[in-house]
A and B are shown apart, each in its own frame.
Chain A
């Protein structure tokens, strides 16, 4: 379940991008979970037309997924609409997604931009857009060229075919296994929320998602094509293709809807975050190896690890300053010190578990905030509580931290008052000299509350930006100054979004 300020933030983003009506519908869905059309109409007191249009906008932009589920006892089904919180928040990071492509496949940036802008498009629509966007005097891109650049995006999984428009999901069927699954240890199978199940049911298989547009002869009817369409390197399989392939290709170009694959972008940003995060901690001489490891990464088996072949790492190390003198032994030893272990599938490759870096970074952020707000002693105590598996008794905190008793008492009280930690009174056995003890631990809702504060802070930044935009529209005072402030705030929101990703998406 999304926290209160998370919902407000998501609705705020939709408000900024699509206006008040769409935002209202979105907020209703985020609050109440999936709902059928009539129910949204009833709750919001809007006309069915208004709600329908809002839903269409949200679906077009991948913020809502429709699904049908059984109604009553019979065979009847009803269409429900589910808001996808993550996808709404991704709207804050489109500029980051674009910079990923700029670094990787710069020639395809405009295509991705088209998809981000429009939510989902057919290839035909993308071609139209590309041609429409051409500035006067520059060469019109050939359809073939656009297709090639587009296929690069699909091949690298940056772009995917859209999920099924309205899959069938039975909530009851989903709930039964959940109750038994609860007893299974967490490692066996993650307990999926209903929302996640809907999204998973709608998703196509990877093979379907990332199947590229086949190359075929250029159809004369493609009026958009420029005459010089033969691009070096583009493989024509004209003769080999039969009628079926031609049909497939036409469908892939004219009917299939494509969209950005947010998961891939988030993974790229996560990888970048982890690589950067650890850099300041690296010992002298290990940085080139660390960088080479990330640069040599080609494919990934999951979203939590990076695997790079040793050959690739060595080649990259060799290109770095001081890298030529490093022996294989040295490189592999440093890799292991950096927690990159030999891959279980390929002995000549090394794998790094990103989740450990992410988890540690989250704690670092929380601890750092405690230090900033409550001082060094609070930081020490908080870290002690975080690193212990069980609640810790006051005297033990005093003994372990070697801090003054009064300071420990005062700090514990402050942290407790502000809901960082929990305390419990334990009656002691006789003969101990004390009638009771207090034990302390980090509150188990602490991380959720911390995330809610992150959303709250983002919401406030957004409100400030809008406030300044209003001031600018009023034409008040110093415009340059206001513009400058606005830019500071926009930059701050972009940076702050890194924290949102760290705690929610990575």
Chain B
């Protein structure tokens, strides 16, 4: 099976506004140009020949095909196309492989609820399908996310400037039972930088960074939020601005937002 293809860049991608702020690097599992080819988790190998030999040939082939999909599995449609079977024949075989023999399992894709994905029963589905650690039963575990964010912030406040590693070790020391992975912490820190709760900076190795090797990515408290120059006047945030014109039905002299803003009764 080919690796999951990333969408190509639209041609005028270069016209996106220039980026001037600290770039927020994409999460580790997504940053590679092409994602790693799906494959069975290293600890799981294909069923031994003696077991496979006992399967009817079509089921043996289906099993091998699904196994090659690794932790990303395979949809029923893809299996049907590749096997060149009718839907009803395939359903019969799938039922046998999943229910009777128990060598395959069905997983729901977090991104496409209606879609069933088959994979080797012993393989853990990839985070791309389950939604990763922040998902429980296909739903985002907002509470878990909120609590780890708080813990990260706590550490940054304690340390001033901190790397993901030092934040993780701080959390592990303060809450020995939680057991986050470094990837999880990195992902959370990145979203916090996006939200500007934290600021992502590179250590210069001097001053406040004197304990950190120059060039390391660190986090510190984000500064006071800036911006909002337009928000002081009604038109700055007006949802109807496109319909508003001097002589139009919606116009400044008849505008309710202005009336309210100026507390006028005209």
Chain A residues in the interface with B (C-beta under 8 A)? 8, 277, 280-281, 283, 333-334, 336-337, 356, 359-361, 363-369, 372-373, 376, 379-380, 383-391, 393, 395-396, 398-405, 424, 426, 428-434, 437, 439, 441-442, 444, 446-447, 453-454, 456-457, 459-461, 463-464, 467, 471, 485, 488-489, 492, 495-496, 498-499, 502
Query: Are B2 and A431 touching (Cβ within 8 A)?
Result: yes
Report chain B residues within 8 Å CB of A454: 230
Query: Are B244 and A431 touching (Cβ within 8 A)?
Result: no
Q: 8 closest pairs, A vs B, by CB?
A: A368-B227, A457-B235, A426-B7, A281-B223, A364-B227, A429-B5, A444-B15, A359-B20
Query: Are B23 and A387 touching (Cβ within 8 A)?
Result: yes
Q: Which of A277, A428, A433, A447: most chain B Cβ within 10 A?
A: A433
Query: Are A467 and B252 touching (Cβ within 8 A)?
Result: yes
Query: Are A400 and B190 touching (Cβ within 8 A)?
Result: yes
Query: Are B140 and A405 touching (Cβ within 8 A)?
Result: yes
Query: Are A283 and B253 touching (Cβ within 8 A)?
Result: no
B253 touches which of A280, A336, A437, A467 (Cβ 8 Å): A467
Q: Tell me the complex Cα distance, A421–B24, Å.
A: 19
* Contacts A373-B237, A380-B195; A391 near B9 (Cβ below 8 A): yes
User: Per-position contact with A for B225-239: 1 when CB-CB < 8 Å, else 0?
Assistant: 111111111011111
- Nearest-neighbour CB distance to chain B for A289, whole angstroms, equals 12
* Contacts A389-B19, A390-B9, A485-B262; A461 near B30 (Cβ below 8 A): no
A363 touches which of B21, B231, B236 (Cβ 8 Å): B21
Query: Are B262 and A430 touching (Cβ within 8 A)?
Result: no
The A interface, classified by DSSP as helix, strand, loop or mixed, is helix
Report chain B residues within 8 Å CB of A385: 16
Report chain A residues within 8 Å CB of B225: 368
Q: Tell me the complex Cα distance, A383–B198, Å.
A: 14
Determine the residue in chain A with the shortest Cβ distance to B190: A400
A369 touches which of B74, B111, B237, B255 (Cβ 8 Å): B237
Classify chain B: how many residues form its interface, as a range. Answer: 35 or more
* Contacts A441-B16, A456-B235, A457-B230; A380 near B194 (Cβ below 8 A): yes
* Contacts A391-B13, A430-B78, A456-B235; A485 near B21 (Cβ below 8 A): no
- Nearest-neighbour CB distance to chain B for A187, whole angstroms, equals 13
B111 touches which of A280, A367, A405 (Cβ 8 Å): A405
Report chain B residues within 8 Å CB of A429: 2, 5
Report chain B residues within 8 Å CB of A391: 7, 9-10, 13, 16
Determine the residue in chain B with the shortest Cβ distance to A436: B7
Query: Are B16 and A456 touching (Cβ within 8 A)?
Result: no
Determine the residue in chain A with the shortest Cβ distance to B236: A457
B230 touches which of A369, A402, A463 (Cβ 8 Å): A369
A373 touches which of B2, B191, B239, B262 (Cβ 8 Å): B239
Query: Are A428 and B7 touching (Cβ within 8 A)?
Result: yes
6 A-B residue contacts at CB 8 Å? A376-B195, A389-B13, A430-B78, A433-B4, A433-B112, A461-B233
Report chain A residues within 8 Å CB of B97: none
Determine the residue in chain A with the shortest Cβ distance to B160: A283
Q: Tell me the complex Cα distance, A457–B115, Å.
A: 48
A399 touches which of B29, B206, B207 (Cβ 8 Å): B29
Q: Is B124 an interface residue (CB 8 A)?
A: no
- Nearest-neighbour CB distance to chain B for A14, whole angstroms, equals 15
Q: Tell me the complex Cα distance, A248–B149, Å.
A: 72
Report chain A residues within 8 Å CB of B75: 433
B229 touches which of A281, A365, A399, A405 (Cβ 8 Å): A365
- Nearest-neighbour CB distance to chain A for B10, whole angstroms, equals 5
Query: Are A442 and B16 touching (Cβ within 8 A)?
Result: yes
Q: Is B171 an interface residue (CB 8 A)?
A: no
Determine the residue in chain B with the shortest Cβ distance to A491: B232
Query: Are A402 and B134 touching (Cβ within 8 A)?
Result: yes
- Nearest-neighbour CB distance to chain B for A483, whole angstroms, equals 12
Report chain A residues within 8 Å CB of B168: none
A356 touches which of B4, B20, B132, B208 (Cβ 8 Å): B20
Q: Tell me the complex Cα distance, A332–B21, Å.
A: 23
* Contacts A368-B226, A386-B17, A485-B264; A463 near B190 (Cβ below 8 A): no
Q: Tell me the complex Cα distance, A460–B262, Å.
A: 14
Report chain B residues within 8 Å CB of A502: 229
Query: Are A398 and B111 touching (Cβ within 8 A)?
Result: yes
Report chain B residues within 8 Å CB of A367: 227
* Contacts A424-B10, A456-B235; A337 near B228 (Cβ below 8 A): no
Q: Tell me the complex Cα distance, A488–B117, Å.
A: 62
Query: Are B115 and A492 touching (Cβ within 8 A)?
Result: no
Q: Tell me the complex Cα distance, A204–B133, Å.
A: 66
Query: Are A444 and B16 touching (Cβ within 8 A)?
Result: yes
Q: Tell me the complex Cα distance, A333–B205, Å.
A: 11
Q: Is B49 an interface residue (CB 8 A)?
A: no
Q: Is B26 an interface residue (CB 8 A)?
A: yes
A460 touches which of B4, B188, B235 (Cβ 8 Å): B235
Query: Are B235 and A461 touching (Cβ within 8 A)?
Result: yes
Report chain A residues within 8 Å CB of B6: 393
Determine the residue in chain B with the shortest Cβ distance to A444: B15
Q: Is B178 an interface residue (CB 8 A)?
A: no
Q: Tell me the complex Cα distance, A449–B105, Å.
A: 51
* Contacts A280-B226, A281-B223, A390-B9; A401 near B194 (Cβ below 8 A): yes
* Contacts A280-B226, A387-B24; A337 near B235 (Cβ below 8 A): no
Query: Are A280 and B29 touching (Cβ within 8 A)?
Result: no
